[in-house]
């Protein structure tokens, strides 16, 4: 669903690993400094200079993995909104930088020293400059209150979908993601992205966000709508899970440890009620103009899912998922998961092996033992591997396309009793080079603003009519009416007057 980045290194994991020593440094603590928000002395916090320096290093790494979205006008607009807020914050003198990252995830995060990131995925669901300011104000709050060296995963439901280890862990029958991460050799540091911020920190960031909004003369009430956007995504994800026949009670453990958006909503309502006054216009027109034409959903650079096919144009491959299976696209991994979570294929590139399939298996799987067998898949050189590691069996295939080796690992829960074996094999066997026709299918969607039409048929809503247009352009988009409603903050219900500008997908 999300991203899949060439050259697919472990840079971000390294960046995250770098954050752990930074946090440890804070605890070891040589410095003592005054917290800019509380005014109290915080023992063991790094000096501001150290904080900026380490933030700059992490920022460099984040940028390699989360590439900035290529739209200078939009970048300038978001940065200007952020600068107005940070200039009014408790730490105006930090070298603040606000970046839109090219990701369909719904997320915003902050790195110490004043580096704030917001995904284009989240921008799509916001509806005004004031709401954008609300998100940025919250992230600024994490930095000004010195919440530490961790990246902020704000949107838990969506972030969860992107942390493939968790999902594959569920599919493979592991109780904890960490076990799987160790098992398959993914850097443990990746798990640090999963660590939730405490409810106290989230609450404080929401409070500071509201305060900074007020300081730039935006109504702090918009924070309620911003949290509402996250809440609506949760409701939608649950509705979709139900439609796909998934057990919605099977929430991964780590998700349950996050403060719920319901709780946040209640908290922020209480906070916003403390502010009264007259505020400037929300800047809806300016905002909609700035995001008009923005890529929506998957981007060409990270790979595009269309129906049961996945296309990665820069790497030139495509593969298919059987009916009732779906793709999960993460920075270093593409997953294909059975909807009932009983089986999954994980595909990871092996940038270092350069055609040496044994090296690819060693590097990515580190098995204790096993045997290989040469094969050909759609004209591509391949190697099947059956082996084991610490008593657990490994069933893998390596395929070379261009100058990259791709390692597929097939996983099946015991309760599937082998019923998914053929499907797993078919997924791997569908891997092939892209054709010109594939490239046409892989065209990314765009977000456009149009006036909401008057419904011509009294029994339908304008959303149903717009959804029909969207279906023609994007036949594979699931539940287009719900998607349009989410984009325009009227999910599951709500009305907008005819003639008002709304966001559509083209
Ligand atoms: Zn936060």
Residue 402's domain is classified under what CATH number? 3.40.1000.10
Q: Which two tokens stand for residue 133?
A: 């300011």
d(CA 252, CA 260): 14
218 and 332 assigned to the same domain: no
In a domain, 287, yes or no: no
User: Residues of 340-354 as b/e, b for ≥16 C-beta within 10 angstroms?
Assistant: bbbbbbbbbbbbebe
CA of 157 to the centre of ligand 1 (A): 14
- Cα 281 to ligand 1 centroid, rounded to whole Å: 25
Mark whether 404 and 425 lie in a shared domain: yes
State the distance from the centre of ligand 1 to the C-alpha of 204, rounded, in angstroms. Answer: 9
The whole-angstrom separation of Cα 299 and Cα 282 is 29
Boundary of a domain, candidates 390, 409, 438 = 438
Beta bridge partners of 43: 32
Length of the chain: 506
CB 21 within 8 A of CB 195: no
Element (H, E) at 370: strand 369-377
DSSP-based helix, strand, coil % in the chain, nearest 5: 40, 20, 35
Query: In this structure, how many other beta carbons lie within 10 angstroms of the beta carbon of residue 403?
Result: 8
Residues 396 and 500 in one domain: no
Per-10-residue mean pLDDT, the chain, length 506: 30 36 31 70 74 86 84 98 98 97 87 92 96 96 78 32 39 36 29 50 91 97 90 83 66 45 86 93 97 94 91 96 88 84 89 95 92 98 94 92 95 87 97 95 93 80 90 88 95 91 95
Q: What is the pLDDT of residue 105?
A: 81
Reading the block at residue 334, the tokens are 């593409």
470 in the same domain as 430: no
pLDDT of residue 253: 37
Ligand 1 ion: residues within 5 Å (CB) = 152, 154, 205
Distance between CA atoms of residues 104 and 295, nearest Å: 9
| Domain assignment present for 1 | no
Last residue of a domain, one of 240, 260, 277: 277
In three-state secondary structure terms, 463 is helix
Q: Which tokens go with 14?
A: 């390294």
Taking the centre of ligand 1 as the mean of its atom positions, its distance from the CA of residue 126, in whole angstroms, is 16
Q: Does some domain include residue 290?
A: no
Total structural domains within the chain:
3
SS3 332: coil
Instruction: Say what the pLDDT of residue 166 is.
Output: 41
**pLDDT of res. 44:** 57
Among 253, 129, 273, CA closest to 179: 253
Check whether residue 449 and residue 381 sit in a common domain: no
Q: Is there a domain that residue 3 lies in?
A: no
Strand ranges inside 378-454, DSSP E: 380-389, 392-401, 404-412, 432-433, 445-451
Residue 222 · residue 282 · CB < 8 Å: yes
Whether residue 220 sits in one domain with residue 97? yes
Based on the fold, state whether residues 127 and 143 are members of the same structural domain: yes
pLDDT of residue 437: 93
* Residue 46 within a domain: yes
User: What is the Cα gyration radius of the chain?
Assistant: 23
Helices (H) and strands (E) in the chain, counts: 18, 19
428 and 449 co-located in one domain = no
Q: What is the 139 CA–ligand 1 centroid distance (Å)?
A: 6
For residue 148, report the phi and psi dihedrals to the nearest 5 degrees: 105, -170
Same domain, 414 and 495: no
> Which structural domain, as residue segments, surrounds residue 490?
445-505
Q: Are 320 and 188 found together in one domain?
A: no
Q: Which two tokens stand for residue 446?
A: 């765009």
Q: What angle do CA 492, 465, 306 make, to 5 degrees?
A: 80
Q: Nearest to residue 109, comparing CAs of 192, 231, 5, 216? A: 192
Pairing between strand 97-101 and 115-119? parallel
Distance 202 CA to ligand 1 centre (A): 5
Domain identity same for 253 and 231:
yes
Distance 261 CA to ligand 1 centre (A): 12
Q: Residue 248: its pLDDT value, please?
A: 55
Q: Check the CA dihedral 431-437-441-447 and report its sign.
A: positive
CA nearest to 481, candidates 466, 495, 500: 466
Residue 63 in any domain: the answer is yes
Show the tokens assigned to 506: 């083209």
Domain boundary among 242, 277, 312: 277
Distance from Cα 490 to the centre of ligand 1, integer Å: 24
234 alpha carbon to ligand 1 midpoint, in Å?
A: 16
Report d(CA 477, CA 232) in Å as an integer: 18
| 27 falls within a domain | yes
In a domain, 126, yes or no: yes
Task: Say what the pLDDT of residue 252 is.
Answer: 41
108 shares its domain with 215? yes
């Amino acid at each position: 669903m999300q991203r899949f980045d060439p050259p697919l290194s472990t840079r971000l994991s390294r960046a995250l690993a770098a954050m752990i020593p930074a946090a440890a440094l804070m605890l070891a603590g040589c410095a003592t400094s005054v917290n800019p928000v509380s005014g109290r002395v915080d023992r063991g916090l790094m000096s501001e200079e150290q904080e900026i320096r380490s933030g700059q290093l992490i920022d460099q790494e984040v940028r390699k993995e989360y590439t900035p979205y290529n739209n200078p006008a939009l970048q300038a607009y978001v940065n200007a909104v952020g600068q107005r807020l940070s200039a009014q914050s408790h730490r105006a003198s930090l070298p603040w930088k606000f970046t839109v990252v090219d990701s369909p995830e719904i997320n915003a995060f902050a790195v110490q020293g004043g580096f704030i990131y917001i995904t284009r995925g989240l921008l799509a669901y916001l509806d005004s400059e004031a709401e954008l300011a609300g998100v940025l104000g919250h992230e600024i709050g994490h930095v000004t209150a010195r919440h530490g060296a961790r990246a902020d995963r704000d949107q838990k439901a969506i972030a969860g979908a992107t942390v493939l280890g968790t999902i594959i862990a569920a599919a493979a029958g592991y109780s904890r993601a960490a076990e799987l991460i160790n098992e398959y050799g993914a850097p443990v540091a990746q798990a640090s992205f999963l660590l939730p911020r405490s409810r106290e920190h989230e609450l404080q960031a929401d409070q500071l966000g509201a305060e900074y909004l007020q300081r730039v003369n935006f109504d702090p009430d918009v924070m309620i709508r911003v949290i509402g956007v996250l809440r609506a995504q949760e409701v939608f994800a649950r509705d979709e899970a139900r439609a796909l026949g998934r057990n919605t009670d099977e929430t991964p453990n780590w998700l349950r440890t996050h403060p719920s958006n319901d709780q946040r909503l209640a908290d922020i309502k209480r906070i916003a009620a403390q502010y009264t006054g007259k505020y400037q216009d929300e800047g809806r027109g300016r905002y909609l103009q700035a995001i008009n034409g923005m890529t929506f959903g998957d981007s060409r650079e990270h790979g595009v899912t269309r129906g049961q096919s996945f296309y990665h144009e820069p790497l030139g491959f495509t593969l298919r998922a059987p009916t009732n299976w779906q793709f999960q696209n993460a920075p270093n991994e593409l997953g294909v998961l059975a909807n009932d979570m009983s089986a999954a294929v994980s595909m990871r590139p092996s940038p270092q092996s350069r055609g040496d399939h044994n090296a690819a298996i060693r590097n990515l799987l580190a098995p204790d033992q096993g045997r290989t067998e040469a094969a050909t898949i759609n004209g591509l050189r391949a190697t099947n591997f059956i082996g084991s590691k610490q008593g657990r069996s490994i069933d893998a295939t390596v395929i070379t396309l261009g100058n990259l080796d791709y390692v597929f690992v097939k996983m099946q829960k015991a309760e599937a009793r082998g019923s998914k074996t053929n499907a797993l094999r078919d997924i791997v066997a569908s891997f092939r080079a892209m054709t010109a026709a594939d490239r046409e299918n892989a065209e990314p969607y765009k977000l456009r603003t149009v006036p909401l039409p008057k419904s011509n048929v009294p029994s339908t809503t304008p959303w149903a009519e717009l959804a029909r247009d969207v279906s023609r352009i994007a036949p594979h988009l699931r539940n287009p009416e719900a998607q349009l409603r989410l984009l325009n903050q009227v999910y599951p219900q709500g009305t907008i007057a005819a003639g008002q500008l709304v966001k559509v997908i083209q």
